[in-house]
Amino acid sequence: MAGDPKKPEVGEIHIDASSCSAYVVDLPPGGMVGLLSDHEGVNLVVDEVVANQSTWGDAAGVTAGDFADLTTANARIAEIDLYLPAARKLVELLTETRAMQVETRERVILSVARSVDARARRAGNEGLLGKYEKTRAYRSEAALKAARTRKKAAA
């Protein structure tokens, strides 16, 4: 349903995944390395284990604890899967929006630096360059880095 943050659709801005808060984890960098991943057919396997548990579970050695872990993990995965498409799209939207805002900010900074350079030549504006020293240095930083790279490559 559109507009329901607990069942968000792709492209929605408000996502409420608080129902996952009891089991959400934040692994350290590299913490996913070595973890097993699911692959095609996993739902058929889970369905099979669930269907056989009451009659064949003991004979197969599937403990009540293992069965509970399996069904709990499966339910949690399904719940997380409800949020992931909308969350991924939200990250994309925020990333792209941020990029556009950075573009605007950088263009304004370039414009300010050019304006300062031009107006500093006018009489009475002798101290202007010093007042915008950081702005002008920031504007020139990329060009200076490129010049250093070209010089290093030529050597």
CB neighbour list of residue 129: distance below 8 Å, 6 or more residues apart: 116, 117, 120, 136
Q: Could you give the number of structural domains in the chain?
A: 1
Please spell the DSSP secondary structure of 101-133, one letter per residue. Answer: HHHHHHHHHHHHHHHHHHHTTSTT-TTHHHHTH
pTM: 0.75
- Residue that wins the pLDDT comparison between 4 and 95: 95
Predicted pLDDT of residue 116: 96
Tens-place pLDDT, residues 79-114: 999 999 999 999 999 999 999 999 999 999 999 999
Burial of 46 (0-12, 13-18, 19+ CB in 10 A): middle
Domain for residue 12, yes or no?
no
Domain for residue 9, yes or no?
no
Predicted pLDDT of residue 1: 53
Compute the C-alpha angle 78/84/87, nearest 5°. Answer: 150
Domain for residue 81, yes or no?
yes
Return left, alpha or beta for 102; rule: phi > 0 is left, psi -120 to 50 is alpha, else beta: alpha
Domain for residue 2, yes or no?
no
d(CA 120, CA 136) in angstroms, rounded, equals 12
Which domain covers residue 84, as residue numbers? 18-22+41-154
Domain for residue 27, yes or no?
no
d(CA 23, CA 17) in angstroms, rounded, equals 11
Averaged over 114-120, what is the pLDDT?
Answer: 95
Predicted pLDDT of residue 31: 98
The answer to whether 78 touches 92, Cβ cutoff 8 Å, is: no
Domain for residue 119, yes or no?
yes
